[in-house]
Amino acid sequence: MAAGDKGLGEAYNSAVVALKEFRDAHMIIATLYVLGPARRVAQITGEGTKPESGPYAEPGDGKEPLKGTGGTNLVRFLKDTRNRTNEAIIP
CA distance 26 to 82: 10
**pTM above the 0.85 mark?**
no
Q: Would you kindly state where each structural domain of the chain is located, as residue ranges?
A: 6-87
- Percentage of the chain beyond pLDDT 90 is 43
CA atoms within 13 A on the CB side of 66: 25
Identify the band that residue 20 occupies on the pLDDT scale cut at 50, 70 and 90: very high
pLDDT tops 50 at residue 32? yes
Q: What is the average per-residue pLDDT within 5-34?
A: 94
